[in-house]
Amino acid sequence: MLKKALLLFTVILFTGCVERGYDLTVNNNTNTVTAIKSVDIRTKATTTTKADIEKMNTAVHKEQTKQPSPTKTIKKQDNQLEKIDDDKKHLEEEKVKTEQALQHQKKLEDEKKLEDEKKLEDEKKINAAKINAAQERKALEQKLAKEKEEKRLIAEEERTSLEKKTRMAEDEAKKKEKALEKIQATKEKEAMEKKLAQEKALRETKVKAEALALERKIAKGKQAQILKEKNEKVLLEKKLAQEKKRAEQAIAEEKRVALLKAQEEAKKSERIRLQKEAQVRKIEEEKQRKEASSHKKPLSATETLTFKPSSQTYQKFGTSEIHGHVVYLTPAGQEINLDNSKIYLVPKNTKTDYWYNKYYLKNKEATSLSKTIVHYINATHLNLEKNFAFYGLAPGIYYIIIESSYPSSIAKNKKVYIAKKINVEKYKKIMTVFSKKL
């Protein structure tokens, strides 16, 4: 028993500490690094799951870079040189990505600056057009008011002249009547009075007719002036509306052209990025194939598992939850695509304990046994960010087992596992990070 305990102690090295807030575990035999943290979900302080997982993932990645690759046990000096070359290449790729990101950011800032300048210029043009329209409207109103005042003065002068003529005629008639009264007799005076009365009636009729004609002329001129002002106002409004519509159409066309140009640039950038990523993947796959073919030593792996649903009821009404992040690395330290990876939640039992302690921790293959059947109570896949989660867990001890396939460039039709035993208590949120270098 003591010998077994010493063996497990030499295989698994715990480097986590309480001061960090999480436990970091390194298993040199299986070449895995895991980090785990447990918090009480009943506390008032909110738990930042994403931030905690990112923090632990950074620490796991840093620790994983320190671990030797199981496929690089021959020619230590050559491996060190290859690692230096890989690190140098990685730094160069990071430098290129940083420069591209800075160039893209600068381009976006320049485009935004040009767009702001263009918008300011358009606003200036529109304001200038509004000011010019207002000035033209004011000048037209002043001109119409001046013409209206001139016509009023002319009509006033004509009315004054007519009244003066009327008074002069009346004065002349009075003088004539006085002269006739002195010269003629009473009959002549009566006849003259009759004649003067007739002339006076004719004059009054003529004056009334002239006054009526003048009033009609003034009213007609006023009506024509009002109609003219109304027509000029309508024409001015139509002109302003047309100018406004043309300005809006010009601005809309400029925006449309700018949008099409930005879309073309974005498509072009995306095509270039995809081409570069394809080239990098092609180079990486070729390198992995070369590394796999250069080693005669076969890859070691734990016993292959067969997963089946458990007859045990899944406790969906528990009070705890598990959040995790998974990373597989090539011998060179590059991340591997995990699209087909599946995560199983397995309750602790005798068969799972035997597999975990006998085969997994020792990275040992079973040659005389059939495939181990593991009954799970829940399973899920990784999302796009390589994260997973289980909710509603009842208290107990569980195994988290991640099953994936080796890349075809390293090994074909071969399974690889990451496993972790986790003790779940009531009202706990457990966050963990899994990392394995092939």
pLDDT of 323: 94
pLDDT of 70: 55
How far is Cα 432 from Cα 56, in angstroms, rounded to an integer? 8
**pLDDT, averaged across the chain:** 80
pLDDT of 296: 37
How far is Cα 224 from Cα 31, in angstroms, rounded to an integer? 102
What digits encode the pLDDT tens for the residues 43-69? 766 567 888 888 888 988 888 887 665
What digits encode the pLDDT tens for the residues 360-377? 888 776 544 457 788 898
How far is Cα 189 from Cα 195, in angstroms, rounded to an integer? 10
Residue 314 — pLDDT band, cuts 50, 70, 90? low
How far is Cα 31 from Cα 361, in angstroms, rounded to an integer? 10
Per domain, the residue ranges of the chain are 10-70+299-437, 109-263
Out of 163-172, 182-191, 375-384, which region has the weakest mean confidence (pLDDT)? 182-191
Sign of CA dihedral 338, 341, 347, 351: negative
pLDDT of 433: 93
Closest-CA residue to 423 (of 387, 402, 397, 400): 397
Q: Kindly report whether the global pTM for this prediction surpasses the value 0.75.
A: no
Cα–Cα distances in angstroms (integers) from residue 98 to residues 104, 125, 401, in the given order: 10, 40, 36
Region 162-171 average pLDDT: 86
pLDDT at 281 over 80: no
The percentage of residues in the chain with a pLDDT greater than 90, rounded to a whole number, is 10
